């Protein structure tokens, strides 16, 4: 019953009474083989339960059928949405997607990249721990199509897809100012993350343009962009003397905002009346929060899809040129920041 070995093209060829090459043609160029033989071969395949060996295919053909995405933080739904966008594009191109998670650790990231190199994936999409890491430059030197997602590089040595974070910071603060807030907290960190810096920069820019005193935009640094850090920021916020306490907070991402929201409500504050909150990313759960969260929306799936298209272009188009794609995020105002 159990056929020790899984059947190969050779077995199929024998069963169908044709040559190896013909079986291969049936799989790869069905138009060159006559309907009659094609059918015979297909029947043989079905009967034997033939499954093409991808390693052999790839070895000989030299081209793999997979893309890979190395995401930064598996606990943040944002990245899964990006991955979903990539997956859709990959599906269209009839490719598989390998999803890895570096968990913000450079060493894991490097290990994953090493594996992917061994697999000879067609292209790599990555939201890196550090977009200037030398091993990333190695990839490009090796000629591996590479797209940096949701980050950027100063030089333009590879494609990237990102969102205008400075602008994102601007619209968030603008909105809060419009709602009448005159003392606002910026919550986020560590500053080593480019995103955080730029969102903060945008916030400060527009704050200054509105002629508001710099001191009244309070920077509350955090250790990471997590729910727990959001809660702890909330505690620090509550600890400020009433006079100094902001009436609104702009968080560098939604996880922070969700943590802050929870802590605030738990502490008996009314949101948005006592504290207005705006997040960043607009993850699914932002809208589902008890007080639906205002957030600066990133086109998450679009980001992924666009990145996949760039990497495919680099992989297949001989005169590909690196591009830096930019999306403009927009504010989605919900209950957590509206009307005082």
Partner DNA sequence: CTACGTTTGTGAAACATTTCAACCCACGAC
Partner DNA sequence: GTCGTGGGTTGAAATGTTTCACAAACGTAG
Indicate which of DNA, its own copies, none lies near residue 24 (CB less than 5 to 8 Å, by partner kind). Answer: DNA
Nearer to its own copies, 203 or 222 (CB): 222
d(CA 148, CA 151): 6
Q: Residue 20 binds which one of its own copies, DNA, none, with CB within 5 to 8 A depending on kind?
A: DNA
64 binding DNA? (CB under 7 A): no
Minimum distance from CB of 37 to its own copies (Å)? 23
- Shortest gap between Cβ of 119 and DNA (angstroms)? 12
The site for DNA, by CB under 7 A, has a size of 30
The single residue among 1, 4, 36, 211 that binds DNA, judged by CB under 7 A, is 36
Return the one option of its own copies, DNA, none that residue 84 interacts with (CB less than 5 to 8 A, by type). its own copies
Beta strand extents in the chain (DSSP E only) = 66-71, 96-101, 123-126, 146-149, 159-163, 184-188, 217-221, 248-251, 276-281, 294-297, 324-327, 330-332
Query: Residue 195's beta-bridge partner residues?
Result: none
- Rounded to 5 degrees, φ, ψ at 66 are -135, 150
**By CB under 7 A, residue 288 contacts DNA:** no
Choice between 113 and 217, CB closer to its own copies: 113
* Measured distance CA(340)–CA(337) in Å, rounded: 8
| Smallest gap from residue 144 Cβ to DNA (A) | 15
Minimum CB separation of residue 297 from its own copies in Å reads 17
- In contact, 256 and 264? CB cutoff 8 Å: no
Among residues 315, 23, 51, which one has the least CA distance to residue 158? Answer: 315
Binds 117: which of its own copies, DNA, none (CB < 5-8 Å by kind) = its own copies
In this structure, are residues 173 and 331 in contact, taking their beta carbons and an 8 Å threshold?
no
96 forms part of the interface with DNA (CB under 7 A): no
Strand partners, 221: 188
Query: Token pair of 292, please?
Result: 């639906």
Order across the sheet with 66-71: list the strands.
Answer: 96-101, 66-71, 123-126, 146-149, 159-163, 324-327
- Partner from DNA, its own copies, none contacting 340, C-beta within 5 to 8 A by type: none
DSSP labels, 239-259 = HS-TTT--SEEEESSHHHHHH
Token couple for 142:
């090796």
- Rounded Cα distance, 300 and 306, in Å: 10
| Residue 265 binds which of its own copies, DNA, none (CB < 5-8 A, kind-dependent) | its own copies
Binding of residue 52 to DNA (CB under 7 A):
yes
Residue 210, contacted partner among DNA, its own copies, none, CB below 5-8 A by kind: none
Question: Can you give the binding site for its own copies, defined by CB under 8 A?
Answer: 2, 6, 49, 51-56, 58-59, 64, 74-75, 77, 80, 83-84, 87, 96-101, 114-115, 117-120, 138, 141-143, 227, 258-259, 261-262, 265-266, 284-285, 288-292, 335
Does 46 engage in binding with DNA (CB under 7 A)? no
Binding footprint of DNA on the chain (CB under 7 A): 5, 8-10, 18-25, 27-28, 32-34, 36-38, 50-53, 56-57, 59-62
């Amino acid at each position: 019953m159990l056929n020790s070995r899984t059947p190969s093209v050779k077995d199929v060829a024998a069963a169908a009474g044709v040559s190896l090459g013909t079986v291969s043609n049936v799989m790869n160029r069905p138009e060159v083989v006559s309907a009659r033989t094609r059918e015979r071969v297909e029947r043989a395949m079905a009967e034997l339960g033939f499954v093409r060996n991808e390693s052999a295919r790839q070895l000989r053909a030299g081209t793999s059928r997979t893309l890979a995405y190395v995401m930064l933080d598996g606990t943040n739904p944002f990245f899964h949405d990006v991955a979903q966008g990539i997956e859709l594009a990959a599906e269209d191109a009839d490719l598989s997607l390998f999803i890895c998670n570096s968990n913000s650790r450079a060493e894991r990231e490097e290990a994953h990249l090493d594996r992917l190199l061994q697999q000879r994936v067609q292209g790599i999409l990555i939201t890196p721990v550090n977009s200037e890491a030398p091993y990333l430059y190695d990839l490009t030197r090796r000629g591996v199509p590479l797209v940096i997602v949701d980050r950027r590089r100063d030089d333009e040595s590879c494609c990237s897809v990102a969102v205008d974070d400075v602008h994102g910071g601007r619209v968030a603060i603008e909105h809060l100012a419009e709602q009448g807030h005159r003392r606002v907290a910026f919550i986020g960190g560590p500053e080593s993350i480019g995103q955080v810096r730029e969102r903060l920069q945008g916030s400060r820019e527009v704050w200054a343009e509105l002629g508001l005193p710099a001191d009244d935009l309070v920077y509350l640094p955090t250790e990471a962009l997590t729910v727990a850090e959001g809660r702890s920021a909330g505690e620090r916020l509550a600890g400020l003397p009433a006079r100094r306490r902001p009436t609104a907070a702009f968080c560098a991402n939604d996880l922070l905002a969700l943590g802050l929201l929870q802590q605030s409500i738990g502490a008996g504050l009314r949101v948005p009346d006592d504290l207005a909150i705006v997040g960043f990313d607009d993850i699914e759960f932002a809208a589902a929060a008890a007080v639906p969260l205002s957030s600066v929306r990133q086109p998450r799936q679009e980001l992924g899809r666009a990145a996949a298209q760039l990497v495919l272009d680099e992989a297949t188009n001989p005169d590909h040129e690196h591009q830096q794609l930019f999306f403009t995020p927009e504010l989605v105002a919900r209950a957590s920041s509206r009307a005082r």
